[in-house]
Amino acid sequence: PRCSSIQCLVLTSSMSAAAPQPEPPTKDESHWSDDTAQLSRGNFYGCLKTRQEKLCQQWSEQSVQEGKLALNFRYCAICPTMIVGPPLLAADDDDDSYTPSGTMGSLYRVIKPTDVPSLIGQTIKETKRKALNDSMSYIDVQDCAAQHVAAMENTNASGRYFSLVESWHWNDILSTLKELYPEISLDENYKYEGDDIIRPTQFNLDRMNSLGVKVKSIKEIFAECISFFQSKGVL
């Protein structure tokens, strides 16, 4: 059936779909993950996100060619990294029974290690944090949402767009969290000081910036998350 009234599809993909190995010096939207390799490593989430995005792209191109979609149909894919920020419903809810979960739960457990269930049903006490010799990138949930809206409303937008601020080494992540929340549970010598310290992943953000969304800094994101946790009484 024809779907000529549909003008644009904006897909929420993932940076997991743009994670080639070995990692290029600078990553951009032309880079794709190897979904077969992801599956062989047991990275089912990454494999699913890669295949999902490829499927949607192929469907849109084929549907336009077959006349099922209008010639001016636009397909966009937003590829976010770790999305964090106060959940909308929880932020507006006066109930103090909030339990951090999802990506906010992951960030919370970095700040305040807790008893967490293991896969075998036992409870494991997490220890004080030490920095991994790795990097992580973040995007604020509201900024990510705004990028989706911008991709839909900008008639010149099409194709893939990254969604992130920048990538930081875990030394910098933990140092900034400690600055914002001095009570954070860190090992006394938490910084990684090996000679093989890695360089954080580098990204070309020209396409993302073309959407015109000004994103919050990582420090601003962390500060808002900590303030939210405190307002809910979990910090």
Which region holds residue 58: left if phi is over 0, alpha if psi is between -120 and 50, else beta?
alpha
H or E stretch covering 224: helix 218-231
- CA distance linking residue 142 with residue 86, whole number of Å: 9
Is the pTM value of this prediction over 0.85? yes
Segment 164-223, tens digit of pLDDT: 999 999 999 999 999 999 999 888 899 999 999 999 999 999 999 999 999 999 999 999
Segment 134-174, tens digit of pLDDT: 999 999 999 999 999 999 999 999 999 999 999 999 999 99
